[in-house]
Amino acid sequence: MSSSQARKADGLLVIVTLLAAISWIFSKEAVLLMPPLLFMAVRFLLAGSLLALAGRKQLMRLTPEQLFRGIRVGLVFGVAMSCWITGLFLTDNVGEGAFLTSLGVVFVPVIARIVFKEAQPLSTWLALPVAIAGLALLSLKNGFRPEPGQLFFVIAAAIFALYFTLNTHAANSRTYVLSDGTERHRERLPALALTAIALLTVGCVTLLASSFREPWHPTLSDFSAVLAGWVIASAVVGTAGRFLLQTYAQSLSTNSHGVVILVLEPVWVALFAAGWFGESMSATQLGGCSLIFGSLLINRWSSVRKLLRGL
């Protein structure tokens, strides 16, 4: 891999964090005009359909076992996104929500350790108390009284961690040793096909949840051009475009620097929310967000060190 490819990958991943942050603004504007779960259903079904069309040849070559693993990833992703959009619907501070959701990066190695018995570096355990301290600062309003939106963001972060772990396992070929000593090999799912299946599954999960919990009639009967614009922008730019660009960027580089770059997302969200919605944070909230961001860097310190050495 050439240095120019690595720089290109890093540059593209910075763009990915910007697209992800902009998507928060699109989503917040949309849920002000329509039920949150219905919005997620339309957004992900549209994005998943676009990717399925692009990856139709990959999808046709999947085995039933690969299809099942892709749907399993999408089901977990769907539950996480349902919690996330509920938190976004309830919150008054988008920037704060982005930092809470970013805790999923810290939770990933913990989930991998608990569920898959994977050994984790010391940096993981050093990052956890810092993240918890940041979470506490964001929740200390008139005593320890977490707001409903905050709770949904933290729950979403934990489930996102499980999704990230399952998604990594599904995207890579793996050889397992069974209890009787025999080996079992699982073929990876191509990134485009896996992403399409996951997004479509999220759309189905949120559509089912919305059908039981939310009224559709006012939204469908009064569907405005402005609302359509937010939905399409979220689906095309914030979902299909973002994930395709991220997959392409990761294919250009074999190193893990991208993980460090992706933690810029909550920073961009906070800046955009301040400019778009006029949001501001108290000193305590800023302290909590800073601690959470610090925990992300501690958690990925080996990658940070490699990146600094390469500058």
Q: Is the C-alpha dihedral spanning 58, 64, 66, 67 positive or negative?
A: positive
Q: How far apart are CA 96 and CA 154, in angstroms?
A: 11
43-52 confidence digits (pLDDT tens)? 999 999 999 9
- Please state the rounded mean pLDDT for residues 135-153: 71
- Greater confidence (139 vs 156) lies with 156
Q: How far apart are CA 255 and CA 117, in angstroms?
A: 24
DSSP letters, 204-270, are HHHHHHHHHHS--HHHHHT--HHHHHHHHHHHIIIIIIHHHHHHHHHHH--SSHHHHHHTTHHHHHH
Q: How far apart are CA 151 and CA 86, in angstroms?
A: 10
Q: At 165, is the secondary structure helix, strand, or coil? A: helix
Q: Which letter does DSSP use for residue 144 in this model? A: B
Q: Which letter does DSSP use for residue 145 in this model? A: -
- Please state the rounded mean pLDDT for residues 173-197: 73
Q: Is the pLDDT of residue 5 over 70?
A: no
The packing angle between helices 94-101 and 103-116, to 10°, is 30
Q: How far apart are CA 12 and CA 162, in angstroms?
A: 25
- Greater confidence (305 vs 74) lies with 74
CA distance to 79, 121, 187, 191, per residue, from 56 (Å)? 25, 39, 18, 12
Reported as a pLDDT band with limits 50, 70 and 90, residue 283 is: confident
